[in-house]
Structures are given as structure tokens and as C-alpha cells.
Amino acid sequence: MVHMVLLMRFLVLVASSVKSSADKALVLGDSWAEYSLETLQEKCDTITSMVNRGIAGTTAAEWAAKDNCATKPPDSLCCRSTGSCSLDDVSFNDTFRTAWVSIGGNDFFLTGCSAAPATLSAIQANIQKVVADLQALSPQTTIVLTGYSVPSSPLTWHPSPSCSEFSALLPLNAAVKAAAEAQSVDYVDVSQVMGGNATQYSDAQFYADSIHLNEAGYRQLWDHPPLQAAMQCLLGQSVSGAPRKLKGASLASLAVILPWMR
């Protein structure tokens, strides 16, 4: 009886340790991040809490410059919500196991969807700066970049015809991928997750408009197996992505850890 009580206490301690190090997520960036609300937590079995610091309309350049309401006018997009475009204003008192960073899209649109190398290099550099800042503040956090899915229809609100091409966002996604590789973080290609590709638009059922996902779109996004794996959403994954050895452990295997169980 005493052995069983000690065993239960041990399991509670282990479970608490696993939960505290592997249950919180950060969502950061532009409208793709903000409008995701808490859908990541809803679709990710291993996340029990999250912080969404997405601010629609913001750019990688603003996040890289750490724009906040002390340095920007009150009508700045970075001051539109309770937060700012500065990681310095994000509380890292609690450990974030994973972070999804969605930035670069608005920078790209401001250039008229230019695929010029200098333009893409500038966007990449700003994304890398944001990721590097996040790595410095929270080195234990697994950071994931995705870029964007192919739009569901022509971007008629944008004056540049280049932005309405099927493949318009592919150069941007390449820059996001290059930034991820340069900072040694995960990149998951979601460009075709909504059914689009270089020759056709995505399925409109997943979109609130031509570029922004709706609730069904975010469910589709988070159900993408490579993204589930990168965000460590699979039950049985540890922080490192390896299976938790305690999951489904037998009393015999616990005896190796607890000699008195033999």
C-alpha cells in the first residue's frame, strides 16, 4: 500500500513536470496570427494555454524595430491593441514550448508583391531579426515559421496586378523559408494546404476573404501533419519531439526507475 502511494506521488510529480514545460504556446505577428485566435490550442492536444500577440496589418520591419506606443503615434497599427510590435512587451516569465511567427506578408504587399532580390532580402533580414530576438529572450522555445497559403481569389484590393497571380506569394514564402534556415528554426510549407498551387487559387471555403483564413481554414492549417509535428501537437511528443517514454509505461518499466517496485 505504501509503495502504491509513493508511486502515485511520483507519477503526479512527473506529470506536473511534463505539463509545465510543454503546454504553453505563443502566436506572434500579423493578421494571420491575430485572426487565428485560440484555434491552435483547440487543435493541438498538447497545448493547454497560449498567448496570441498577433496584430493585423503589422510588418516584419515594425517587429524588427520593436515599435511600441512610446515610439510610435497612437494611431499606429502597433498601438491598435493592448500590446505593441515589441517582444520586450511580451512576458516570458512562463515558458513557451512553441511559438508560431507569422510575419512578412504586409511588407511584401507594400512593395507591390515585388520579387526583386533586394526587396526579398530586406524582408528576410527583418524576419531573421525578429526570430533572433525571440531566440535570445526564450532560447528554450521551438519557433515555427510557415509563410502563407495561396490566396483564394485575385487580390482585387491591391493595385498591383502582380499580387493577384496564383504564384504571387511563392517568392515571399521562399524568403520566409530562407530566414528560418538562417536562424535554424522550423519552416513548414503551407502554401498548398488550402488546395491552391502555382496554377490555381485555394479553395474559397477556407477563406474569410481572398487572403485571410476563416475558422475552417485555421482548422485545416493546424490539421496539416507537418505543422502538427513542428508545433509538437501530437500526444506522446516531448519538448524535443521524441516520444515521451513515460507514455503508456508499464509497472515493469517503472520498476527500472523505482527499484522498490521490483
Give the 3-state secondary structure of 93-108: CCCCCEEEEECCHHHH
CA distance 17 to 131: 27
Which of 105, 100, 104, 107 shows the shortest CA–CA distance to 134? Answer: 100
At the fourth CATH level, which superfamily is domain 23-237? SGNH hydrolase (3.40.50.1110)
Position 242 scores a pLDDT of 36
Position 8 scores a pLDDT of 43
Position 81 scores a pLDDT of 63
Alpha helices in the chain (DSSP H): 2-21, 31-34, 39-43, 60-64, 105-110, 117-137, 170-182, 215-222, 225-230, 251-257
Which of 33, 82, 72 shows the shortest CA–CA distance to 56? Answer: 33
Position 234 scores a pLDDT of 78
Contacts of 230 by beta carbon, 8 Å cutoff, 6+ apart: 98, 142, 144, 186, 188
CA distance 23 to 95: 9
Query: How many of the other CB atoms lie within 10 Å of CB of 151?
Result: 23
Position 70 scores a pLDDT of 73
C-alpha 98, offset from chain centre = 7
Residues of the chain with pLDDT under 50: 2, 4-21, 236-262
150 within 8 A of 166, measured Cβ to Cβ: yes
CA distance 44 to 221: 11
The order of strands in the sheet holding 142-145 is 49-54, 24-29, 98-102, 142-145, 186-187
Give the domain ranges of the chain: 23-237
CA distance 58 to 65: 12
CA distance 108 to 115: 9
Containing 54, the helix (H) or strand (E) segment is strand 49-54
Position 256 scores a pLDDT of 29
Position 157 scores a pLDDT of 87
CA distance 245 to 248: 8
